[in-house]
Amino acid sequence: MDRRPLHAWRLASLLAVTAATVAVSRCAADRGPEEPPAWSAELPGRVVYTAPGASGVAAVHRVDATGQNDEQLFENHDETNANALYPRWDDGGRRIRFTAMAGGVWTGFEMDEHGADARPAPSDDFQLLASVALDDDLQVDGDAIFAATPGGGRELVHRESDDDGAARRHISQVAWGPARAWLIFQACDDERDRCDVRIARRGADEPSFRVARGRHPSWTW
């Protein structure tokens, strides 16, 4: 029996499946907010956030608001709890304050904008708990971010959805960006066990994009 037609059919089927898989993969890669919008290239300033460092312990990172030039600034090696939380810009973007464990005690730290001169700076204003909104006029309701308006109303300024259309979970650390034209926030997805630092242009139908994998963002410009 001549098996060449059968082999040819199998080869054609394999090629068709491969082509379809590649097409689906490309669609998945091209769709949704993971493809940075054109306006992201013009974003000013820098973002600090927390994520695992080079040694696998908690670290403070700095990245351009465009998502470029990510750099690790501080890595905590405390033997009790190697954690670092809630970095924020201070002194007009010249210093960074954050919370870290030091000798088994939660302590306020500070360092310069380049990560140099990191040292404990005990104070009563260091942060231990997440905030849904860092600016008083912002509110989070499910996958939506609202801004308070005069008279007690509210304006939908962003609705966050995943690249498959599913709502992202646990939006928090929401704050305004420059001129209140952008928003920065943390979006955590339980199913994928990840958190993203994301920036969105103000507007109900505007996409967001991932600046970095991490938590606790703070933006200066």
Task: Give the tens place of pLDDT for each residue, 122-145.
Answer: 677 778 877 899 999 999 998 899
3-state DSSP percent of the chain in helix, strand and coil, to 5: 15, 45, 40
Classify 121 as helix, strand or coil: coil
DSSP bridge pairs for 182: 201
What was the pLDDT predicted at 166? 54
What was the pLDDT predicted at 47? 98
- Alpha-carbon Rg of the chain, whole angstroms? 22
- Reported as a single tens digit per residue, the pLDDT across 32-82 is 346 789 999 999 999 999 999 999 999 999 999 999 999 999 999 999 999
> How far is residue 209's CA from residue 33's CA, in Å, rounded to a whole number?
5
What was the pLDDT predicted at 189? 84
Q: What is the DSSP letter of 168?
A: P
> How far is residue 14's CA from residue 24's CA, in Å, rounded to a whole number?
15
DSSP string, 25-44: HHHHHHSSTTS--GGGGG--
What was the pLDDT predicted at 128? 82
What was the pLDDT predicted at 25? 33
Token output for 166: 């599913």
CA distance readout (Å), 217 to 69, 130, 153: 16, 11, 27
> How far is residue 140's CA from residue 147's CA, in Å, rounded to a whole number?
9
Token output for 113: 């904008």
Query: pLDDT band for position 184 (50/70/90)?
Result: very high
For the cut 60, the answer to whether the pLDDT of residue 29 exceeds it is: no
Q: Is the dihedral angle over the CA atoms 32, 34, 39, 44 positive or is it negative?
A: positive
What was the pLDDT predicted at 169? 66
Query: In this prediction, what percent of the chain has a pLDDT beyond 90?
Result: 62
> How far is residue 85's CA from residue 126's CA, in Å, rounded to a whole number?
9
Read off the amino acid at residue 105: V
For the cut 70, the answer to whether the pLDDT of residue 17 exceeds it is: no
Arithmetic mean of pLDDT over the chain: 83
